[in-house]
């Protein structure tokens, strides 16, 4: 803490201590005020400006220091100055004092609170930016909430000073008038309870509730305005409670939930059930990675005590296995299964023609359904960069890759994100000569630098030529030969290849579903609120098309909120919770993370401690010849509360689950340390990481006394 802050805290503590030490509170009592009322009135009549100035300064000091007595000071304003002057003076004095308390709280406390509760404060700040003025006004109207608490609490947020000042003065005005007016009748007041009668408190509560009612009314009016163009098309009866467009992870879960709660739901899919994950993403890529891992292990058979291992490998056979794996999982997401669960599954192209009507183009013709609510779950597709010459040389994406039957001798992978890294290493292990091109200065840019360095080293060990800080300029075809031209440090170079794989990211599928015609805003994704509602509250979005994450597990997570809000939102809505989101990159060794990493914590100004356990000290990792990587845990300084975890190593994604559970339910490292982990397993790494934290936080002074005790016991 800075010297200025320490001095300010010291000064405030001295002033508060003097207030109580000299019992200055006796001057802020009802009895004292009543006994001196005539003297104050006479002094005011003789020297009005001096009295107003002194009163104003004392009032500001009392409220700024959050001392007891503001109510008496307000009564005194009415007793001495009368209703109009008293209201004017008290209003400005109380607002200035509240603002000073607000600024003091912000200056002294916000930084430390931000350090401990950075993620939560960030979420609160988002709410304050959106509705902070509204809620501050509501709180100011209700005298049941102590004003000094509001001052200090709001100081911890990012609310602008001008907004706090203006809204506070406006919100406190009604209460100020009541108490100043009571002060004009001071002789009749026997206690402060007499002022706040049950009827008056009830009136204030109604005043506080009024803005909430007003907000609801405004919401209804706004909703009607949104639907105004289409209101005449709203049906009196609906064919469905819910129509879900897209049968990927989000669509499958949303329709399943609707069927479970006995809603009538139709799921529309234009291509393949299961979406990208089953057919083009997670499942086929992990199946191929497994084959590549086996080839790698056989190549390194001496590491396992086997002098030599040989394999007869055919890429077409490996791709046949990939297709077989997809077919084996396919029944989990099949039309038959979901129809058996009570979902009406329709194969066709869906378009929303108005907020309550969906047209479906099927092989048999057009089908029209009316529905109360719609969930858009159309997923995402690979992004293909506008690279000159790319169409001429031809390219693969994570969607079109799986039809290949021949292993490319020379493969260029564009992109250094998770997909690019996974496939680059996979094809290198299968025997391709792989060149990976990334425009950014390092791979896996969202991870810590040490993770990027480790990942690049792992890929390079497997033969991948990694070119970071290289910008792809154009593709060239010279006869049958294909080249990509890249630039680094203003120097161009040509790289020859047989196949080029674009893995530079994915973009939401937004076209052709009627969103443009309805005027629903879209950017990189469909714009939604915290309830996953679009501009039209009965049309929601979930999964990759909604963002902000493009993971199968977050798509399923969002689907619960979208379907429940769609079906029951008129009674209760649920905000989508993104507080604990895990993800993994399935290179070897794996990279898995949940919560903050170091670079994000620094960017957000969150204070943290780092605890690390290296896997080369773990028995099972050594036994498996997998003693590479680490577990890194970020915690609140001095506490065992977990802010984030990064695991690099074999089975990292599986090991991460324990931390995801802990963070979701508020369990700290002490709980993990106190949990029995099977020996010998990789999961012991989590326990040992917790043990490292515990060793770093030993009570050294207490242990010194314990050592003396044991010495005394030995005589």
- What is the reported pLDDT for 326? 96
In the chain, % of residues over pLDDT 90: 66
Between the CA of residue 19 and those of 25, 77, 579, what are the distances in Å?
7, 21, 44
Of 144-153, 395-404, 643-652, 658-667, give the lowest mean pLDDT range.
144-153
| Per-residue confidence band for 200, with pLDDT thresholds at 50, 70 and 90 | very low
Q: Average pLDDT in the 408-434 region?
A: 97
Specify the CATH class of 240-381+508-568 in words: alpha beta
pLDDT of residue 565: 97
**Candidate from 172-181, 313-322, 475-484 with smallest mean pLDDT:** 172-181
Q: Return the closest-CA partner of residue 419 out of 468, 372, 382, 464.
A: 382
Backbone CA torsion sign across 463, 399, 448, 661: negative
Sequence-ordered list of residues with C-beta below 8 angstroms from that of 516, at least 6 positions apart, any chain: 522
When the pLDDT of each residue in the chain is averaged and rounded to a whole number, the result is 89
* pLDDT tens by residue, 78-108: 888 888 898 999 999 989 999 999 898 888 8
CB atoms within 10 A of CB 441: 11
Residue 406: CB atoms within 10 Å = 11
Specify the domain boundaries for CATH 3.50.50.60 within the chain.
240-381+508-568, 390-506
Q: Using CA atoms, how far apart are residues 397 and 501, in angstroms rounded to an integer?
A: 6
In the three-class reduction of DSSP (H, G, I as helix; E, B as strand; rest coil), residue 715 is classed as coil
Query: Does the structure show a pLDDT above 60 at 201?
Result: no
State yes or no: pLDDT of 430 exceeds 80.
Answer: yes
Query: Of the ranges 33-47, 404-418, 539-553, which one carries the lowest mean pLDDT score?
Result: 33-47
- Are 642 and 588 spatial neighbours (Cβ–Cβ below 8 Å)? no
Predicted confidence band at 484 (pLDDT cuts at 50, 70, 90)? very high
pLDDT at 645: 98
pLDDT band of 586, cuts 50, 70, 90: very high
Please, are residues 616 and 452 in contact by the beta-carbon 8 Å criterion? no
Lowest mean pLDDT among 219-228, 431-440, 505-514, 635-644: 219-228
Residue 649's region, left for phi above 0, alpha for psi from -120 to 50, else beta, is left
> What is the pLDDT, as a whole number, of residue 33?
73
Task: Tell me what pLDDT residue 217 has.
Answer: 63
Q: What is the CA radius of gyration of the chain?
A: 33
Is the pLDDT assigned to residue 574 strictly greater than 70? yes
The predicted structure's pLDDT at residue 119: 61
Average pLDDT of span 242-250? 97
DSSP 616-643: GG-HHHHHTT----EEEEEE-TTS--EE
Q: What is the mean pLDDT of residues 582-590?
A: 97
> Do 589 and 625 contact (CB within 8 A), yes or no?
no
Superfamily of the domain at 390-506: FAD/NAD(P)-binding domain (3.50.50.60)
Give the pLDDT confidence score for residue 202 in this predicted structure.
Answer: 53
For the chain, the first-to-last Cα distance in angstroms comes to 46
Instruction: Please determine, for residue 206, whether its predicted confidence score (pLDDT) is greater than 90.
Output: no
Helices 118-141 & 83-116, crossing angle to 10 degrees?
A: 170
% of the chain exceeding 70 in pLDDT: 92
Location of each CATH 3.30.390.30 domain in the chain: 589-700
pLDDT value, residue 502: 97
Count of CB atoms within 10 A of residue 410's CB?
A: 15
pLDDT digits (tens, 9 = 90+) for 685-695: 999 999 999 99
pLDDT attached to residue 7? 79
CB neighbours of residue 565 within 10 Å: 26
Level-2 CATH architecture, domain 589-700: 2-Layer Sandwich (3.30)
pLDDT: which is higher, 146 or 445: 445
Distances (CA, A) of 54 to 15, 172, 581: 18, 22, 56
For residue 81, what pLDDT is reported?
Answer: 86
Minimum mean pLDDT among 119-133, 322-336, 541-555, 630-644: which range?
119-133
């Amino acid at each position: 803490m800075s010297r200025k802050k320490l001095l300010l805290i010291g000064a405030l503590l001295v002033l508060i201590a003097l207030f109580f030490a000299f019992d200055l509170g006796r001057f802020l009592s009802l009895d004292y005020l009543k006994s001196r009322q005539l003297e104050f009135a006479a002094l005011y009549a003789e020297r009005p400006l001096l009295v107003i100035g002194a009163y104003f300064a004392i009032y500001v000091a009392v409220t700024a220091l959050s001392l007891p007595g503001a109510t008496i000071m307000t009564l005194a304003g009415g007793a001495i100055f009368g209703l109009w002057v008293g209201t004017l003076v008290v209003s400005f004095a109380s607002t200035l004092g509240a603002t000073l308390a607000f600024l003091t709280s912000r200056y002294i406390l916000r930084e430390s609170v931000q350090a401990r509760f950075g993620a939560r404060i960030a979420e609160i700040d988002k709410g304050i930016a959106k509705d902070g003025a509204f809620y501050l006004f509501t709180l100011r109207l209700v005298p049941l909430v102590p004003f000094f608490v509001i001052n200090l609490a709001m100081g911890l947020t990012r609310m602008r000073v001008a907004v706090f000042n203006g809204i506070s003065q406006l919100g406190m005005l009604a209460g100020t008038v009541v108490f100043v007016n009571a002060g004009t009748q001071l002789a009749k007041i026997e206690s402060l309870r007499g002022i706040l009668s049950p009827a008056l408190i009830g009136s204030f509560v109604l005043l506080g509730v009024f803005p909430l009612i007003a907000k609801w009314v405004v919401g209804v009016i706004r909703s009607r305005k949104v639907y105004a163009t289409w209101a005449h098309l709203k049906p009196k009866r609906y064919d469905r409670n819910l129509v879900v467009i897209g049968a990927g992870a989000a669509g499958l879960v949303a329709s399943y939930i609707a069927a479970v709660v006995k809603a009538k739901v139709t799921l529309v899919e234009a291509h393949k059930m299961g979406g990208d994950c089953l057919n083009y993403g997670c499942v086929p890529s992990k199946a191929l990675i497994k084959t590549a891992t086996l080839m790698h292990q056989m190549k390194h058979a001496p590491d396992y005590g086997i002098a030599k291992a040989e394999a007869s490998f055919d890429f077409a056979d490996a791709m046949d296995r990939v297709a077989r794996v997809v077919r084996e999982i396919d029944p989990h997401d099949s039309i038959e299964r979901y129809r058996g669960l009570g979902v009406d599954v329709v194969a066709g192209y869906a378009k929303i023609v108005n907020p309550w009507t969906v047209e479906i183009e099927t092989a048999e013709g057009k089908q029209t359904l009316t529905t109360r609510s719609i969930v858009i779950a159309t997923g995402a597709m690979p992004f293909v960069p506008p690279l000159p010459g790319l169409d001429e040389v031809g390219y693969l994406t994570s969607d079109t890759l799986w039809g290949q039957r021949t292993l490319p001798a020379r493969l260029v992978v564009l992109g250094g994100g998770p997909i690019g890294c996974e496939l680059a290493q996979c094809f290198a292990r299968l025997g391709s000569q792989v060149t990976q091109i990334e425009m950014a200065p390092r791979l896996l840019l969202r991870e810590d630098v040490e993770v990027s360095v480790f990942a690049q080293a792992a890929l390079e060990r497997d033969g991948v030529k990694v070119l970071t800080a290289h910008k792809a300029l154009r593709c060239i075809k010279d006869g049958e030969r294909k080249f990509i031209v890249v630039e680094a440090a203003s120097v161009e170079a040509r790289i020859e290849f047989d196949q080029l794989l674009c893995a530079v990211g994915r973009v939401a599928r937004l076209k052709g579903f009627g969103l443009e015609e309805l005027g629903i805003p879209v950017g990189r994704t469909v714009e939604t609120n915290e309830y996953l509602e679009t501009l039209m509250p009965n049309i929601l979005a979930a999964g990759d098309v909604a963002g902000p994450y493009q993971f199968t597990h977050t798509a399923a997570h969002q689907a619960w909120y979208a379907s429940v809000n769609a079906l029951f939102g008129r009674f209760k809505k649920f905000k989508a919770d993104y507080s604990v989101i895990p993800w993994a990159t399935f290179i070897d060794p794996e990279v898995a993370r949940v919560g903050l990493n170091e670079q994000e914590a620094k960017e957000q100004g969150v204070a943290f401690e780092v605890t690390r356990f290296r896997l080369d000290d773990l028995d099972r990792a050594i036994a498996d010849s997998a003693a590479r990587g680490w577990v890194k845990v970020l915690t609140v300084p001095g506490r065992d509360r977990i802010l984030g975890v990064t695991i690099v190593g074999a089975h990292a994604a599986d090991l991460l689950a324990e931390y995801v559970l802990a963070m979701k339910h508020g369990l700290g490292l002490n709980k993990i340390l106190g949990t029995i982990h099977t020996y010998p397993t990789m999961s012991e790494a989590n326990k040992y990481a917790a043990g490292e934290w515990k060793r770093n936080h030993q009570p050294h002074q207490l242990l010194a006394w314990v050592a003396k005790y044991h010495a005394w016991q030995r005589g």
